[in-house]
Structure 1
Amino acid sequence: MENPVAIDLLDFLNASPTAFHAVDEAKKRLRSAGYTQLSERDDWKLEAGKKYYFTRNHSTIVAFAVGKKYVAGNGIFIIGAHTDSPCLKLKPITKVTKGGYLEVGVQPYGGGLWHTWFDRDLTIAGRVIIREKKDGSESYSHRLIRIEEPIMRIPTLAIHLDREVNEGFKVNKQTHLAPVLATSVKAELDKLTTGNGFTGTGLGDGKKIEGNTKTNEKHHPLLLQLISAQLGCEPDDICDFELQACDTQKSIVAGALKEFIFSGRLDNLCMSFCSLKALIDSTSSESSLQEETGVRMVALFDHEEVGSDSAQGAGSPVTLDALSRITSSFSSDTKLLPKAIQNSYLVSADMAHALHPNYMDKHEENHQPKLHGGLVIKHNANQRYATNAVTAFLFREIAAKHNLPVQDFVIRSDMLCGSTIGPILASGVGIRTVDVGTPQLSMHSIREMCAVDDVKHSYEHFVAFFQEFSHLDAKLAVDV
C-alpha cells in the first residue's frame, strides 16, 4: 500500500520548483486548514485558540497556532526549515549570443553539484513584476511563473573533444553552465529576434503571439515572449523578474521495491513539507489546541543555501519579530519576551547525509545514518550544529514514546562540517535548539533521493513534537 504522506510530499514537490512556489503552495494548504493571513505591515490582534501565518518576500513563510491556554511568556515551539535549494539563477542581463546560439546567462546559487545539471531538460520558473493598466491608471503586480515545457539545455562536450574528461571533469561556472535556448539561425527564420510574432513549443497550443517591436537589450526577445505568453501580458509589460533554471522531470516514488523518492529539491522541501503538514494536522481538530499552553510554529526560510544573511533569511530578525509580536499581543509587559524565549524550543530541520554504499569511508564508523532509519540528530562539538545533550534528549524522548526510530550523526574529525539554520537562530535569538534531518543521498544534486519510510517517520515525529513537547518540557529542570 502506498504511503499517503509520501504521495502528498510528491504533490508538494511538483508544485514547488522555486522558493516562491513553495511558499505559495504552503499558503494554499494553510488557508484550507483555517489559518488566517497576517501582514507584517499591520498591527496584529491575535486570539488564543486561533491559527495564523505571514510571508516575507513571498519566499519565507511563518505559520503558528496559539494554544487555548497560552499566556504571554509561555514557550513557542518551532520547527524551522528552508525553502531554497541550489540552482542556476538567471542573471540581471541574460542575453548571451555565441557561435550561432542563443544562450541564457545564469549564475550558480548555493553549493550545487553542477555537473549533474548537464544534459537535463530544463525550463524556467520564479516571479515576475509586471505593469498593468486599468481605467487609465498604472499599477504593478507580483506574479509567479512556471513554463512546463523543456525550453533549454546545458549540453556536455563530446568525449572525442575532451579525451581526459573521465579522469576528472572540472566545471567552469562562468563558461560551461549557460543553457542553450535556441539557434540564432532558427530564430532568424522564424523572425523571433525582430519581434514580428512566432509559434513556439513553449506556448502550449502553438498559438501565435504578437510581439512588441521594442528591442530589449538585456534579454533575448524569445525569452521575454515565452514569459509574456505564459503570463498573458505583453513583453514590454515585464518590469523585472527573479527566475531560475529548473529540471522538468517530476518527483516520483521509485526503486525496484518502490522504497525511494527520486526528486529535485528534497533538500530542503522534504523537511519544509513534513513540518508544515505536521503543524496543520496537529491543529486540525477543534480540540487540538484546547490544552495547549504554548504556541506551535513552523518557520520556512529562504537563503539558507547561501548563509541566511538576508531580510528573509534565518539570520534576519524575522523569528525574533514573530516571537515578540505574539508575546506583546497578549501582554504589554516587555519583560515577558526574554521569558518566552527561554521557554521556547527550536527543531532545526534540514536534510542529513545518509551512508553511501560506494563511499563508506566518508562516514565516521559509529555514526552512519541509514535510509529507513528515521530522523537523524546532528551533533558537532564546534557548534556547526546547535544540538546539546538537553535538546537531543527531549527530541529523542518524544521518539521513544511513539516507538519512532532515531539516528545520530557527527562528521568525521578529519572533514569539514556543513551547517544550517540551527546555530544561526540559537545564537541570534537565544533559543534552545536541536538540529535534525531526514537522511538522503545525492544531496545538492539536481536529482536527489531519500526513503519513503523516512518521510513518514519524520512527519510522525514532528506531529508528536507539537502535541507533547510542552508537557514533556515541564518535567525537565536545567538552570535551577
Structure 2
Amino acid sequence: MENQVAVDLVEFLNASPTAFHAVDEAKKRLRSAGYEQVSEREDWKLEAGKKYFFTRNHSTIVAFGIGKKYVAGNGIYIVGAHTDSPCLKLKPVTKVSKGGYLEVGVQTYGGGLWHTWFDRDLAIAGRVIIREHKDGSESYSHRLVRIEEPIMRIPTLAIHLDRDVNDGFKVNKQTHLAPVLATSVKAELNKPASKNGSAETASSDDKKLDEKTSSRQKHHSLLLQLIAAQAGCKPDDICDFELQACDTQKSVIAGALKEFVFSGRLDNLCMSFCSLKALIDSTSADSSLQEETGVRMVALFDHEEVGSDSAQGAGSPVMLDALSRITNSFSSDTKLLPIAIQRSFLVSADMAHALHPNYMDKHEENHQPKMHSGLVIKHNANQRYATNAVTSFLFREIAAKHKLPVQDFVIRNDMLCGSTIGPILASGVGIRTVDVGAPQLSMHSIREMCAVDDVKHSYQHFKAFFQEFSHLDAKLAVDI
C-alpha cells in the first residue's frame, strides 16, 4: 500500500511550480479545513478555538490555530519552512535574439546546480499584473499563470565541439543559460496580423512607445502571447510579471521498490507540505483545540534561498508581527508579548543532506543521515543552525514518545556549512529554535529525491509536536 502522505505530497508538488503557486495551494487546503483568511491591512478580531491564515506578497503564508484555553502571553508553537527553491527567473527584459534564435533572458535565483537545467523540457509559471477594463475605468489584478507544455530548452553543446567537457563542465551563468524559445523564421511567420492585415514587425513595435506596447520592446511577442493566453487577457494588458522557468516533468513516487519521491523543489516544499498537513490535521477534529493553551502555527517564508532579506522573508518582521498581533488581540498589555516569545518554540524545518553512496567522504563517520531513518536534527557550534541541547532534547522527546526515528547531523570541520531560517528567526525574534529536516539527495538540482518513509516520519513528528509540546515544555525549566 502506498504511503498516503507521500501521495499527497506529490499532488502538492505538482500543483506548486513556484512559491506563488505553493501559497495558492496552501490557501486552498487551509480553507477546506475551515481556516479563515485575515488581512495584514486590517485589524484582527481573533477568537480562541478558531483557525486563521494570512499571506504576504502571495509568496509567504502564515497559518495558525488558537487553543480554546489560550490567553495572551501563552506560547506559540511554530514549524517554519520556506516556499522558494533555486530556479531561473525571467529578467525584466527577456528579449534575446542570437544566431537566428529567439531566446529568453533569465537570471539565476539561489545556489542552483545549474548544469542540471540543460536539456530539460522547460515551461514558464509565476504571476502577472493585469490591466482590466470595467465600466469605462481601469483596474489591476494579480493573477497566477502556468504554461504546462514544454516551450523552452537550454541545449548543451555537442561533445564534438568541446572534447574536454567530460573533464569538467563549467557553466557560464550569463552566456550559457538562456533558454531557446523558437527560431526567428518560425516566429516571424506566426506573428499575428495587425489591423491593416500585415504582420507585425519589430520596426513597427519600436515606434510605439506608449504604455500598452512598451512591453513588446522588452519581450518577444510570442512569449507575451503565450502568457496572455494563460492569463486570459490580451498581451497589451500585461503590465508586469514575475515568472520563472519550470521543469515540465511531474513529481512521482518512484524507484524499483517505490520508496522514493523524485521531484524538483523538495527543498523545501517537502517540509512546507509536511508542516502544513500536520497543522491542518492537528486542528481539524472538533476536540483538537479544546484543551490547547497555546497557538499552533506554520510559517512558510519566501526568499530563504537568497538570504531571507525581503519584506516577505524570514528576515522581515512577518514572524514578530504575527506573534504580536495574536497576543494583542487578546490583551492590550504590551508586557505580554516578550513573555509569549519566551514561552514559544520554533521548529525550523529545511531539508537535510542524506549520505551519498558515491561520495561517502563528504560526511563524517558519526553523522551520516540515511533515508528512511527519520528527521535529522542539525547542529552547528558556529550557529549556522540554531539547535542547542534544550531544543534538541525537547524535539527528540516527542520522537521517543511516538517511537519515531530521529538522526543527527554536523558538517565536517573542513567544509562550509549552509544555513536556514532558524538562526535568522532565533536572533531576530528571540525564540527558542531547533533546526531539523528530512534527508534528501541531489539538493538544489532541478530533480531531487527523498524517501517516502521520511515524508511520513516528518508529518507524524510535526503533528505530535503540535499536539503535545505545551505539555512537554511545562516539564523543563531552564532560566530560573
What is the TM-score normalised by the length of structure 2?
Answer: 0.96
Query: Which position in structure 2 is the counterpart of 1:421?
Result: 421
**Residue 280 in 1 paired to residue 286 in 2?**
no
**1:96-148 alpha-carbon deviations (Å, 9 max, x no partner):** 00000000000000000000000000000000000000111110000000001
Structure-2 residue corresponding to 1:471:
471
Instruction: Name the SS of the counterpart of 1:226 in structure 2.
Output: helix
Partner residue of 1:236? 236
Instruction: Name the structure 2 match of 1:172.
Output: 172
Q: How big is the shift at 1:190?
A: 2.2
Match of 1:430 in 2: 430
Deviations 1:62-95 (A, max 9, x none): 0000000000000000000000000000000000
Residue deviations 1:374-418, cap 9 Å, x none? Answer: 000000000000000000000000000000000000000000000
Q: Equivalent residue of 1:147, what SS?
A: strand
Task: Map 1:438-457; keep pairs closer than 5 Å.
Answer: 438-457=438-457
CA distance in 2, matches of 1:95, 1:118: 20
What are the residue-to-residue correspondences of 1:181-200 with 2, within 5 Å? 181-191=181-191
- Which AA in structure 2 matches 1:33? A
Return closer, same or farther for 1:378/1:176 CA change in 2, 3 Å cut-off: same
Closer, same or farther in 2 for the Cα pair 1:397/1:229, shift >3 Å? same
Which residue pairs with 2:316 in the alignment? 316
- 1:333-390, CA deviations, whole angstroms, 9 ceiling, x for partnerless residues? 0000000000000000000000000000000110000000100000000000000000
Q: Partners in 2 of 1:285 and 1:341 — Cα distance?
A: 27
Distance 2:165 2:118 in 1: 14
Equivalent in the alignment of 2:208:
none
Tell me the distance in 2 between the aligned counterparts of 1:139 and 1:311.
24
Q: CA deviation at 1:189?
A: 2.2
Deviation at 1:191, TM superposition (A): 3.0
CA distance in 1, matches of 2:390, 2:214: 63
- Structure 2 CA distance for aligned equivalents of residues 472 and 214 of structure 1: 60
Secondary structure at the aligned position of 2:22 is classed as helix
Cα distance in 2 for partners of 1:387, 1:194 equals 63
Residues 193 and 222, structure 1, Cα contact 8 Å, conserved in 2? no
The alignment partner of 1:150 has SS state of: strand
Is the 2:213–2:236 contact (alpha carbons within 8 Å) kept by the matching residues of 1? no
5+ residue gaps, structure 1, are 199-211
- Does structure 1 conserve the Cα–Cα contact (< 8 Å) formed by 2:309 and 2:316? yes
- Which residue is 1:459 aligned to? 459
Q: Which residue of 2 aligns with 1:207?
A: none
3-state SS of 2:329 partner: helix
Tell me, in whole angstroms, the C-alpha distance in 1 between the residues paired with 2:131 and 2:250. 32
CA distance in 2, matches of 1:273, 1:179: 30
Q: How does 1:210-225 map to 2 (within 5 A)?
A: 216-225=216-225
1-structure distance, mates of 2:374, 2:198: 54
Q: How does 1:113-124 map to 2 (within 5 A)?
A: 113-124=113-124
Once residues 313 and 198 of structure 2 are traced to their aligned partners in structure 1, the CA distance between those partners, rounded to angstroms, is 41
Q: Which amino acid aligns with 1:243?
A: L
The one-character-per-residue Cα deviations of 1:36-62 (angstroms, maximum 9, x if unpaired) are 000000000000000000000000000
Residue number in structure 2 paired with 1:332: 332
Residue type of the alignment partner of 1:368: Q
Q: Which amino acid aligns with 2:244?
A: Q
1:141 lines up with 2:169 in the alignment: no
Q: Structure 2 unaligned runs (5+)?
A: 200-211
- Give 1:395's aligned residue: 395
Match of 1:131, SS state, is strand
Q: Match for 2:82: what amino acid? A: H
Residue pair 2:191, 2:222 contacting (<8 A) in 1 also: no
2:149 is paired with a residue of what secondary structure? Answer: coil
Q: Look up the match of 2:127.
A: 127
For the pair 1:265 / 2:265, whether they are aligned, the reply is yes
SS across alignment from 1:418: coil
Q: 1:191·1:197 contact (CA, 8 Å) conserved in 2?
A: no
Secondary structure of the 2:370 match is: coil
- Tell me the distance in 2 between the aligned counterparts of 1:215 and 1:8: 39
**Does structure 1 residue 373 correspond to structure 2 residue 368?**
no
Q: CA deviation at 1:214?
A: 7.9
In the TM superposition, residue 187 of structure 1 has moved relative to its aligned partner by 1.1
1:384 aligned partner: 384
Say what the alpha-carbon RMSD is for the aligned residues: 1.4
Indicate whether 1:298 and 2:292 are aligned.
no
Secondary structure in structure 1 of the residue aligned to 2:324: helix
Q: What does the per-residue CA deviation read over 1:204-259, in whole Å, with 9 as the maximum and x for residues that have no partner? A: xxxxxxxx988710000000000111122110000000000000000000000000
Q: 2 CA distance for matches of 1:216 and 1:86?
A: 28
Per the alignment, in what secondary structure is the counterpart of residue 217 of structure 2?
Answer: coil
After TM superposition, the score normalised by the length of structure 1 is: 0.96
Runs of 4+ in 1 over 6 A off after TM superposition: 193-198, 212-215
Match of 2:154 in 1: 154
Mapped pair 1:24 → 2:1:
no
Cα distance in 2 for residues equivalent to 1:193 and 1:369: 60
- Aligned amino acid, residue 442 of structure 2: S
**Whole-Å separation in 1 of the counterparts to 2:329 and 2:448:** 42
Q: Measure, in 2, the Cα distance between the counterparts of 1:194 and 1:127.
A: 28
1:53–1:61 Cα contact (<8 Å) kept: yes
Contact 1:193–1:220, Cα closer than 8 Å, also in 2? no
Does the 8 A contact of 1:194 with 1:213 survive in 2? no
Cα distance change of structure 1 residues 217 and 464 upon mapping to structure 2, 3 Å threshold: same
Aligned to 1:69: 69
TM-superposition CA deviations, 1:133-177 (whole Å, max 9, x none): 011111000000000100000000000000000000000000000
Whole-Å Cα distance in 2 between the matches of residues 214 and 381 of structure 1?
53
CA distance in 2, matches of 1:328, 1:232: 42
What is the alpha-carbon distance in structure 2 between the residues aligned to residue 128 and residue 451 of structure 1?
35
Aligned residues: 467
1 CA distance for matches of 2:198 and 2:443?
42
* 1:238-285 per-position Cα deviation (integer Å, ceiling 9, x unaligned): 000000000000000000000000000000000000000000000001
